[in-house]
A and B are shown apart, each in its own frame.
Chain A
Amino acid sequence: MKNKTSLSPQEGEVRPSRCPDNSAFKQQKLPAWKPQLTIESVLSSFFLIGGFCLSVGVCLILSAKSVREIQIDYSDKCSDCSKLRENSSNWNKECHCSVNFMLKEDILGDVFMYYGLQNFYQNHRRYVISRSDAQLLGRNVNIQKSYCAPFTTYRNGTPMAPCGAIANSMFNDTIDLFYNLNSSVIEVPLLKTGNSWWTDKNVKFRNPKSYNLSSAFAGTARPPYWQKPVYLLDEEDERNNGYVNDDFIIWMRVSAFATFRNLYRRIRRIRQFADGLPAGNYTFRISYNFPVTKFKGRKHVILSTVVWSGGSNPFLGIAYVVTGTAATLTGFVITAIHLKLRKKKTYFQK
């Protein structure tokens, strides 16, 4: 009892004070940097950025200029073939056509060969999702559950390998390049591997494991538009066959826009072509399989070199020059306004 009475007043005194802590955080007095838009900082940033943009822009334009590019639209040049392909019952009939062109100058350095498509909506939502990455990893998955529809299985239940609209619509023209030197025709050596991203080739795509490739794909069927099954995409090179075929991988990396170009081949720099493509007459020999007329699309074949900034697109360089000019001009305008205003201010104060 005695204890209790002696304790209670003490407890009252120990009662925590309700006074707030005097910490910088609670009192909103944290040290802080208070940047302000001063005339000096604004002008210097405008002029600096203007200068930077101008120089980068000039560099970009100059380097883009140095890129050599040849683009040939062959959708009309092979009109017979395109007519043939409009009727899908002719799918297994071969059709070839040739396109000649002349190089007036040598194209030096690495030369890349692209196929370009126009009006092909690879970025359509239903198209983009129409694939099964699990299947492409070589897994035995139930593709019924994937978004591959309607290109999942045949009526008899045989699954398609690979499934989905993307794979089904794979570009399957074959393009060969010939150099016409003094009436002799030399086939330009082309590299068909090493064109895709390392991660795609080694991480994202894998063939199903089995003792050989055809058995790995046993029980599956090729997509309806394909002429040959997936394990015959490149019969010569085991490491470029099946899902890990470079052409297939590149096609599966869908484009952001309806007009795009995909890397098809690289010129192998040997013999006459060690420095690139010498000037002269060339022929594209195209096995025409991919129909585009139905959706009013166009096909191109493109030869191009690259520089540090990529291909020949001048947009970035021009944009930089315009931005740089605009920033510098704005800098001057701001200076003018500021000076004028200062005059006014002093007038007011008088």
Chain B
Amino acid sequence: MTVPREMPEKWPRVRGPGRAEEERRVRANAREYNEKFQYASNCIKTSKYNIVTFLPVNLFEQFQEVANTYFLFLLILQLIPQISSLSWFTTIVPLVLVLTITAVKDATDDYFRHKSDNQVNNRQSQVLIGGVLRQEQWMNVRVGDIIKLENNQFVAADLLLLCSSEPHGLCYIETAELDGETNMKVRQAIPVTSELGDTSKLARFDGEVICEPPNNKLDKFGGTLYWKENKYPLSNQNMLLRGCVLRNTEWCFGLVIFAGPDTKLMQNSGRTKFKRTSIDRLMNTLVLWIFGFLVCMGVILAIGNAIWEHEVGVCFQIYLPWDEGVHSAFFSGFLSFWSYIIILNTVVPISLYVSVEVIRLGHSYFINWDKKMYCAKRRTPAEARTTTLNEELGQVEYIFSDKTGTLTQNIMVFSKCSVNGHSYGDVQDVLGHKAELGERPEPVDFSFNPLADPRFQFWDPSLLEAVKLGDPHVHEFFRLLSLCHTVMSEEKSEGELYYKAQSPDEGALVTAARNFGFVFRSRTPKTITVHELGRAITYQLLAILDFNNIRKRMSVIVRSPEGKIRLYCKGADTILLERLHPVNQDLTNVTTDHLNEYAGEGLRTLVLAYKDLEESYYEDWSERLHRAGSAPEAREDRLARLYDEVEHDMMLLGATAIEDKLQQGVPETIAILTLANIKIWVLTGDKQETAVNIGYSCKMLTDDMTEVFVVTGHTVLEVREELRKAREKMMDASRSMGNGFSYQEKLSSSKLTSVLEAIAGEYALVINGHSLAHALEADMEVEFLETACACKAVICCRVTPLQKAQVVELVKKYKKAVTLAIGDGANDVSMIKTAHIGCGHQRAGGHPAVLASDYSFSQFKFLQRLLLVHGRWSYLRMCKFLCYFFYKNFAFTMVHFWFGFFCGFSAQTVYDQYFITLYNIVYTSLPVLAMGVFDQDVPEQREHGVSPSCTRPGQLNLLFNKREFFICIAQGIYTSVLMFFIPYGVFADATRDDGAQLADYQSFAVTVATSLVIVVSVQIGLDTGFWTAINHFFIWGSLAAYFAILFAMQHSDGLFQMFPNQFRFVGNAQNTLAQPTVWLTIALTTVVCIMPVVAFRFLKLDLKPELSDTVRYTQLVRKKQKTQHRCMRRVGRAGSRRSGYAFSHQEGFGELIMSGKNMRLSSLALSSFAARPSAGWIETLRKKKGSDSSAAGSPSAAPDKTLKV
């Protein structure tokens, strides 16, 4: 046992919940030792309750809600006899109901959390205990355990990699779940542990790790391993983080450092911010206003009471003495204030929140159930992960989308090529015309080639014919593709080839060559073996001239079996076409045309060239290369110069076009969303060229656009200048269009105006990560936003996850618009959490983006349905629901207010206490819920294409805002006035048809209650636009329930006999409702309440037709103008845009291959492997990667002047 002699310096204090862990000490294979520190186990708990704690904890949480506490307060008020104007049950019944419904919902949610926790916790992993490997559940894995992982397994906890099946303790991981990057990453064990190959050695391993406390930094780790009196520094390069997947590695062993909640994955997921919709916020404001209104009413009535008691009540004391303890009119007024607060409390509807929740839950289920959002391929339905945001989907104005994996499938497909001036790959029908997508012929048959990849498909048979006919150019073309790359091959069994490509582009190219008969079979550091049309040929690999961002090309120098030395090069057209031999001029022109054509289709292009090298020249060059390589300083500059020298005067072979496969239906979806006035911004970590390419292929950018601005400035001034220029251009254009508005005037208003939004012509903005960093600074953000919002499409490339969130935050801050972020990787999590609505793109279960999201689905095109169908309907329903809800409660409650003036402000209710109890929860709740859940306006079929602009009311917040609220309230008050005064007019001094008094209190109560129920039922009938069987059932059912309960309670002698003091209304129903006068009163009230509403609605419909119609009309007009405008601009724009060398590629792999470090011993044994002096290739790899990413973040990094679009 070794104890570290010197303690490492203390790690910065990190405050955790409860305790602050300053450093972490983990000793391998020593559970007792590690238990001292009480580190979190690997058990994950996201659930909140268990069976015992559910009731108290849940109730406690619920009473933290202001509304619930308020009703509890009312309940307590009601227990004071002097104040109590209602029976205690009128409040407690709804309150209990509301609490129960919420509790049931919470319980269900928690149940599912328990279930998913269990599923994760019960995953199996192999733990080394006492020298034996044992299957254990994930939750039983402890800090300090050594566990074994196998290929394609999820990493169970944050591990220190000890050793692996691969040479040098290497292992490959996919970190897609963590950071969304799909290319594989290399991790390496520290040399001293990488030799612990078998379990017995590992069981004896007793090193102690002292490292930083748990934190959420995914790319940093600092620690030290103390073992056998030595200490070894540890870095992130040695760590396997939970959530990663082991790839291309048979097995590996790791020491658990952080487990469960301490893992970086869990630390990163954090608590999800509780999102509220704008309607929620508005609702809260309105409820506060209503509170204010309630207090005002209370005060008015209390003053009235004081005056009444002073003037009238004093005299009336012989018949009605004041209560005990009440000695003055003033005090009586004070008590009456509280009494009125109790009876008027129904203006703040207790069931509002729970009803809203129920409706949203219903909408969420509709999203989950939607067959049109079910992805058959992945077998995943869409999932509404939060149930609180549905209606905001109908208000979305900005969509922020990730590119890779969201817009694209991240699958590269070799789709076209141009060889020696001949273009292949167009799908042609019989007549030789380009065929439409739907009517594809059979793909080319590659069965002649036993090594072909069956998944590869190509549609143009002429290319294969050319190969078979032995066209030397085509052969050379594919030979280049099979030789010039950094792909590794693996042959599990004879003929079963697997390529491990660092970038999917390269994989696609090599696979294409493989199917066309040029099969890259295996490589050693010095050789490449290729099966050329069945013949195995081994080329000597002399050099790999690696890729980097500046060169934008890569080359290999090989010696063929015949002894000829040839350089093969592939790279970006802009770079490569300049380096061709002049004799290629004609061919270059043809190829350039092809390149333009490909680029126009949004394909990613590469140009291929070769050059024969003289033996003597090569010898000399390689000598110089060797010297440059071992030079202590400026090594890279010298290498670059040498590369530059040899890659010159090359012969053009052709060009390839790779399709970055879009998700299904992306261009259509984007077009429709644009039509729905939703702005789409693409935020991608990818390169500018790739991003722009995708922008074109998904029709966000088109050649018809007036201009695409590219902002690539490196300094604040440059960026500002570029933005200013862009704005000026747009202004000029709109001025020249002369469409009549004086924008000067508008400019003078200092506010962020919409001048720029009204600009004619279509513009797009492309901005780089480092420019964005400046643009997002406090003094420029408004300028940037203004410019960006004036553009139809915005693409931000090379952005960091943080910047993604910043951009979203910016729009949220200044635009007051609803934003939606959609992404699939962990790099999108921040943006998903920041946006009002986050959508996760399902790739695999348990993905962080999905976990952080509010909605998840597996196709980008489902967004259309989510927003334009579900979102719009949700918004519509919610607004209708709220309007009606406030209306019905005001109509119900305000009657008490009017009655106050006639009953001496004594807080006498108009209705029977049971009616008050049941009105909100039985008589009127279900019809409005049914409307809130099922209502539809435009039939769904027309949703697609025809009327996407119907979301306009949602975006402009037209259906429920303060104005609409006041209209509802006014309608409610109007109704209540009629509801009181019409029966009052009828009843005063009236008699029944049998001569008895009509105007007794109970008859009045029944009449008003009945007309109220009928009026609000008719009103909901009027509001319901979509009468399904359920609506019918609920509306008629509610009326039926009202009369049933009325007669049951007021007719049955039994209830009265049991509780005479509670059921005083006995006999009232049949006596009152037998009167024709009463029914005439009810009818009149209904007519007078409803007819004005009908008239207003109809006139509104007639005079100001639905906004969506007008919008549609104006859009049509505008589009016509645009097409004219486009025709003028069209000329001379094609070809200005060309895709670059768009490898999603890591630099440094060439060196890695040449060093042979990553090759199996078996294959190495074949070649005469001589170790080259390679100074820590992995260091280079890391350094390169670091500089690469810093180039994106900081402006000071080497400028990579990319081609201007």
Q: Residues of A at under 8 Å CB distance from B? A: 17-22, 26-37, 39, 42, 45-46, 49, 53, 56, 60, 88, 110, 112, 114, 116, 119-128, 130, 132-134, 136-137, 139, 146, 149-150, 165, 168-169, 195-200, 203-204, 225, 250, 253-263, 266, 291, 294-296, 304, 306-313, 315-316, 319-320, 323, 326-327, 330, 334, 337-338, 341
Name B1085-1136 residues within 8 Å CB distance of A. Answer: 1087-1088, 1091, 1094-1095, 1097-1099, 1101-1103
A42 near B1094 with CB under 8 A, answer yes
Name B291-340 residues within 8 Å CB distance of A. Answer: 312, 315-316, 318-321, 323-324, 339
Contact of B908 among A22, A88, A123, A165 (CB under 8 A): A123
Contacts of B1004 in A (CB 8 A): 256
Known: A295-B319, A315-B986. A121 touches B1003 (CB 8 A): no
CB of B631 closer than 8 Å to a CB of A: no
Contact of A258 among B902, B1025, B1060 (CB under 8 A): B902
B319 near A165 with CB under 8 A, answer yes
A295 near B315 with CB under 8 A, answer yes
B995 near A263 with CB under 8 A, answer yes
A203 near B323 with CB under 8 A, answer no
Q: Residues of B at under 8 Å CB distance from A? A: 85, 312, 315-316, 318-321, 323-324, 339, 365-366, 368-372, 374, 376, 379-381, 873, 902-904, 906-908, 934, 936, 940, 982, 984-1005, 1025-1031, 1053, 1056-1057, 1060-1061, 1064, 1066-1067, 1070-1071, 1075-1077, 1080-1081, 1084, 1087-1088, 1091, 1094-1095, 1097-1099, 1101-1103
Known: A20-B381, A37-B1097, A127-B320. A323 touches B1084 (CB 8 A): yes
In Å, the complex CA distance between A323 and B315 comes to 41
In Å, the complex CA distance between A320 and B1076 comes to 14
Contacts of B339 in A (CB 8 A): 125
Known: A53-B1087, A295-B312, A319-B1084. A204 touches B1067 (CB 8 A): yes
A20 near B997 with CB under 8 A, answer no
Contacts of A56 in B (CB 8 A): 1080
In Å, the complex CA distance between A315 and B285 comes to 42
Known: A199-B1070, A320-B1080. A310 touches B998 (CB 8 A): yes
Q: What's the nearest-Cβ distance from chain B to residue A313, in Å?
A: 4
A26 near B369 with CB under 8 A, answer yes
Known: A121-B320, A258-B902. A337 touches B1099 (CB 8 A): yes
A19 near B381 with CB under 8 A, answer yes
B990 near A259 with CB under 8 A, answer no
Known: A20-B381, A122-B1001, A261-B997. A341 touches B318 (CB 8 A): no
Q: Which residue of A lies closest to B994 (CB)?
A: A306
Q: What's the nearest-Cβ distance from chain B to residue A275, in Å?
A: 17
In Å, the complex CA distance between A114 and B1087 comes to 33
B1066 near A199 with CB under 8 A, answer yes
Q: What's the nearest-Cβ distance from chain B to residue A328, in Å?
A: 11
Contacts of B376 in A (CB 8 A): 19
Contacts of A139 in B (CB 8 A): 1060
A310 near B902 with CB under 8 A, answer no
Most buried by B among A110, A125, A137: A125
Q: Which residue of A lies closest to B318 (CB)?
A: A294
B1099 near A28 with CB under 8 A, answer no
In Å, the complex CA distance between A266 and B997 comes to 13
Q: What's the nearest-Cβ distance from chain B to residue A321, in Å?
A: 11
Known: A203-B1056, A204-B1066, A258-B902. A311 touches B1084 (CB 8 A): no
A203 near B1066 with CB under 8 A, answer yes
Q: What's the nearest-Cβ distance from chain A to residue B1093, in Å?
A: 10
What are 10 contact pairs spanning A and B, CB under 8 A? A34-B1026, A42-B1095, A112-B995, A150-B321, A195-B995, A256-B1001, A263-B996, A311-B989, A311-B998, A330-B1095
Contact of B993 among A125, A306, A327 (CB under 8 A): A306
Known: A121-B904, A197-B1067, A257-B988. A310 touches B993 (CB 8 A): yes
Contacts of A127 in B (CB 8 A): 319-320, 906
Contacts of B1001 in A (CB 8 A): 122-123, 128, 253-256
In Å, the complex CA distance between A27 and B367 comes to 9
Contacts of B379 in A (CB 8 A): 17-19
In Å, the complex CA distance between A334 and B314 comes to 54
Contacts of B1027 in A (CB 8 A): 32-35
Q: Which 7 A-B pairs have the closest CB atoms?
A: A199-B1067, A256-B1004, A311-B991, A26-B369, A125-B906, A133-B1060, A125-B908
Q: What's the nearest-Cβ distance from chain B to residue A28, in Å?
A: 6
A250 near B997 with CB under 8 A, answer yes
Q: What's the nearest-Cβ distance from chain A to residue B1047, in Å?
A: 13
Contacts of A294 in B (CB 8 A): 315, 318
Q: What's the nearest-Cβ distance from chain B to residue A16, in Å?
A: 11
B940 near A28 with CB under 8 A, answer yes
A119 near B312 with CB under 8 A, answer yes
Contact of B987 among A114, A256, A291 (CB under 8 A): A256
Contacts of A149 in B (CB 8 A): 323-324
In Å, the complex CA distance between A32 and B1091 comes to 24
Contacts of A263 in B (CB 8 A): 991, 995-997
Contacts of A253 in B (CB 8 A): 997, 1000-1002
B1077 near A310 with CB under 8 A, answer yes
Contacts of A110 in B (CB 8 A): 995
Known: A20-B370, A30-B1029, A199-B1067. A296 touches B315 (CB 8 A): yes
Q: Which residue of A lies closest to B314 (CB)?
A: A295
B380 near A18 with CB under 8 A, answer yes
Known: A26-B366, A60-B1080, A327-B1087. A256 touches B1067 (CB 8 A): no
In Å, the complex CA distance between A266 and B1094 comes to 46
In Å, the complex CA distance between A261 and B936 comes to 52
